[in-house]
Structure 1
Amino acid sequence: MKITAISRSDRFSLKRSIDSGTEKQRKTVRAIIEDVRKNGDKAVSAFTVKFDGIALAQTAVSEEEIAEAYSLLDDQLLQVIRQAIANITEYHERQLQSSWFYHRKDGTMLGQKITALDSAGVYVPGGTAAYPSSVLMNVIPALTAGVERIVLVSPPGKDGRLSPGVLAAASELGIREIYKVGGAQAIAALAYGTETIKPVDKITGPGNIFVALAKREVFGDVDIDMIAGPSEIVVLADDSAIPQEVAADLLSQAEHDMLSSSVLVTDSQTLAEAVNEEVGRQLQTLPRKAIAEASITDYGQIYVAETMNDAIDTVNALAPEHLEIITRSPEALLGSIKHAGAIFLGRYSAEPVGDYFAGPNHVLPTNGTARFSSPLNVTDFQKKSSIISYSQTAFEAHADSIAAFARLEGLEAHARSIEARNGGIKDEKSGTRQKNK
């Protein structure tokens, strides 16, 4: 890893650009979406053969396949999934919002009505890897919000099946509408529907560049969670941190993807050098060495700041997806952190604790978007309606003001809508009112 000394003036040059794909990739995705819109299941099947190399008799997962998944899953792992479900549910239940109303003295009632979305689609990456944790993190907030219909899609393996862990996790949450479909064609099916898959109102879940571009294309016709980029971690540490632990944490993100970013920000040159050496040593025994090494080489970085305050400024400029604070008093620094998707305090709060088990959601803003966005949460699956019930007393008191405001904006019909209820529509030339009939 490259070790760089930084000062206050350097920190704003540390952000990474967002990958919006190549023009060829964007054209490919648009063509896939259009084909699925026109040809439905036929197009989905053709793309599954083309991209996944398998022809399926049916895309819907059967009850027999779910039962088989349970038989293949180790009982201990099933218990781990169930405990994770309990932890994640407990956390997300605290995010629930309620409708509220209040009354003014003039008899007006105002409020906000909270309503769950009717349906949501969850994309779970698959193929060569399995991500039961993605099932839990996307489905649980939707269930907690009260979404009645949740659809899960995931690309099939070469055997035409989904991962036992993914199927068991979905089944434990009561999800039965599961389809073996991946890529941009899955996003198009969720957005616009096919003969088999009915459309949904919102699509969430991570995927490759084609999935991300497809979500970008369908946004507006349906809602999406975010356009997620490669995973990233920043470790903010002082000389009390243990190099072996910091290095392991940096590599935990590097092994995700060659494009993942792993960054250490510290005020200790000694720690920086020790962590750099330890990363090189641990890399040699990683099963995913090739991926992690490419990530560390291209996007790994160690920044040495003059002071801890400069280090904190650097972290806020980076606005990382995951931030670990490993210092003598991590809680004391929490108030100074403005931008981070998830903040892990202390040496025992390693990032994988949040990935799988603690409770907070691991679907987090990337590429510096933590400056203005939040982790996936229950409110993402709810919408708000404003409630207005004006009393006659309030209306008559404010009618002239409202009509005047409408005319200020040149909207005469708006003004007349008020005046029709308040003595008749006013003739601006004569000043007389046309009484209601």
Structure 2
Amino acid sequence: MKILGYRDADYESFVKRLNRRALPTHDVRDLVADIIAEVAGQGDKALVAYAKRFDNVELNAKKLFITPEELADVKVAPSTKKAVAASLKNIIAFAKGGLRKDWSMINAEGARVGERFQPFDRVGVYVPGGKAPLVSTALMTAGFAKAAGVPEIIAATPCGPDGKVNPELLYALKAAGVTEILKIGGAQAIAALALGTKTVKPVDRLFGPGNRFVVEAKRQLFGAVSIDLLPGPSEVLIISDKTGNPDYIAADLLAQAEHGGDSVIGFITDSKALIGKVVKAVEKQLLTLNRAKYIKEVLKQGTFILNVRNMAEAVEISNAFASEHVSLICADEKKWLPQIRTAGAIYLGNNSPVAVGDFLAGPSHTLPTGGSGRSFSGLRADQFQRRTSIVKLDKKSVRKSLEVVQEFARIEGLDAHGRSTAIRVE
């Protein structure tokens, strides 16, 4: 862990580097561009080749999807069914609260204007593979699509070398309303969902988190398809004054480090004494964890602890860093909470573990990372709705609109626009 205090010589330069921009490196950008071009040109053949190259699995065009028979035969423990049902219940309830409803009004000229909200016809949700089956991610993407009433939900997740997908993940996808499951991962899966192949029907919008290659594929394909946000490797930033419980803080740091890979973990406090207690708690708890190997890598490469001058400085750094998750633990919560503006999700107080948000609370854990929280919000139910504006005029409202329309038409040199309005009242 990198530990710095505000009196250290390199403190200011390190803090300045925390003001991130979610931009790809040249090698990631170029590799993803090549993958997209291959999928665009060769379709299913490219998907099969990349499955062999990256996932060491032999597939063909007929084996790219989980079959209905495979899905019907999925068996999981009763405890898994109970956990999935509990999480999905909260997700659906939260998502429905965020759905937009049709509305209309009469404008100043008497025209009726409004908006209509309908679910997208077909969406794609990406569920990362790797070291663990992300059952919760399946629920917190597809579950929102289900709540919005999307009729076709295709999930993409990499299969293992045996060509199979984890049964608990399959069960969760089925429970969340997924209608197709593509056994392909990575940038190639994003390309297939966006562009389509002979076997894969393209989607209207893409959702879900992934590694830097998946995120870059979504970025490059924006325009060919719409996307939700740029959710990459997991992040947490814990801000605490002296009231923070060191054991709880250590547990939250270790929980996020458990994701491994490119995860970023931060702890900021104005209490130097608390830093020492947290470091000791991290070292003690680490000895008891199954994934200590991956956690140690993240603690070494992707973890920082800062002793700041005061809470105002901590909040300023947080807004520059724009973390996926922010835990705020302080005596004056009402003062500091409104000042945190760029977090994907905020967890308040000593008794709000991020893990509950990851698995159960209701809001989606698909959140902006890499500094993109300045521009993006976390995944929401209304992102699964297509918004259409509606305008209806009668003769009276056309007549009242004519003078202004004709003036804009004159300014912009678009006389046909003015004429198309005038002709209705002449």
1:322 aligns with 2:325: yes
Q: Which residue of 135, 158, 171 maps to 2:138?
A: 135
Match of residue 22 from structure 1: 26
Match of residue 373 from structure 1: 376
1:60 aligns with 2:60: no
Q: Secondary structure at the match of 2:236?
A: strand
1:256-271 map, 5 Å = 256-271=259-274
1:13 shift after superposition: 4.5
Match of residue 5 from structure 1: 5
Match of residue 50 from structure 1: 53
Q: What are the superposed Cα offsets for residues 42-62 of structure 1, whole Å, 9 maximum, x if unpaired?
A: 222222222221113512212
Match of residue 428 from structure 1: none
Change (3 A) 1:49 1:96: same
1:135 shift after superposition: 0.6
Contact 2:98 2:382 in 1 (8 A): yes
1:348 shift after superposition: 1.8
Q: Which residue of 358, 364, 387 maps to 1:361?
A: 364
Contact 2:243 2:330 in 1 (8 A): yes
Give the TM-score, by structure 1 length. Answer: 0.89
Q: Which residue of 340, 343, 347 maps to 1:344?
A: 347
Q: Secondary structure at the match of 1:94?
A: helix
Contact 1:19 1:229 in 2 (8 A): no
Q: What are the superposed Cα offsets for residues 56-113 of structure 1, whole Å, 9 maximum, x if unpaired?
A: 351221233224431xx22112211111111111111110110101124754211111
Change (3 A) 1:280 1:128: closer
Match of residue 389 from structure 1: 392
Q: Secondary structure at the match of 2:74?
A: helix
CA distance in 1, matches of 2:23, 2:300: 19
Match of residue 85 from structure 1: 88
Match of residue 74 from structure 2: 69
1:225 shift after superposition: 1.6
Contact 1:15 1:367 in 2 (8 A): no
Contact 1:108 1:391 in 2 (8 A): yes
Q: Secondary structure at the match of 1:69?
A: coil
Change (3 A) 1:304 1:27: closer
Amino acid at match of 2:237: V
Give the TM-score, by structure 2 length. Answer: 0.92
1:279 aligns with 2:282: yes
1:103-252 map, 5 Å = 103-104=106-107, 107-252=110-255
Q: Secondary structure at the match of 1:236?
A: strand
1:364 shift after superposition: 0.6
Q: Which residue of 40, 43, 59 maps to 1:40?
A: 43
- Which ranges of structure 2 fall in alignment gaps of 5 or more residues? none
Amino acid at match of 1:82: A
Q: Secondary structure at the match of 1:256?
A: coil
- Which stretch of the first structure deviates more once superposed, 413-422 or 94-103? 413-422
Q: Secondary structure at the match of 2:52?
A: helix
CA distance in 1, matches of 2:406, 2:360: 56
Fraction of identical pairs, as percent: 38
CA distance in 1, matches of 2:107, 2:131: 60
- Which stretch of the first structure deviates more once superposed, 301-310 or 368-377? 301-310
1:403 aligns with 2:378: no
- Which stretch of the first structure deviates more once superposed, 285-294 or 265-274? 285-294
CA distance in 1, matches of 2:106, 2:355: 47
- Which stretch of the first structure deviates more once superposed, 97-106 or 352-361? 97-106
Amino acid at match of 1:16: R
CA distance in 1, matches of 2:187, 2:274: 44
CA distance in 1, matches of 2:363, 2:20: 25
Change (3 A) 1:245 1:38: same
Change (3 A) 1:128 1:273: closer
1:291 shift after superposition: 2.7
1:128 shift after superposition: 4.2
1:413 shift after superposition: 2.4
Change (3 A) 1:331 1:68: farther
1:232 shift after superposition: 1.1
Amino acid at match of 1:63: P
Q: What are the superposed Cα offsets for residues 173-221 of structure 1, whole Å, 9 maximum, x if unpaired?
A: 2323112112222112211222222111111112223222222222101
CA distance in 1, matches of 2:19, 2:110: 52
CA distance in 1, matches of 2:6, 2:136: 37
Q: Secondary structure at the match of 2:113?
A: strand
Q: Secondary structure at the match of 1:348?
A: coil
CA distance in 2, matches of 1:413, 1:106: 21
Amino acid at match of 2:20: R
Contact 2:102 2:117 in 1 (8 A): yes
Q: What are the superposed Cα offsets for residues 230-280 of structure 1, whole Å, 9 maximum, x if unpaired?
A: 211111112121212111111211221342221111121110222123223
CA distance in 1, matches of 2:145, 2:41: 29
Contact 1:106 1:391 in 2 (8 A): no
1:127 shift after superposition: 4.7
- The size of the alignment, in residue pairs, is 420
1:391 shift after superposition: 2.5
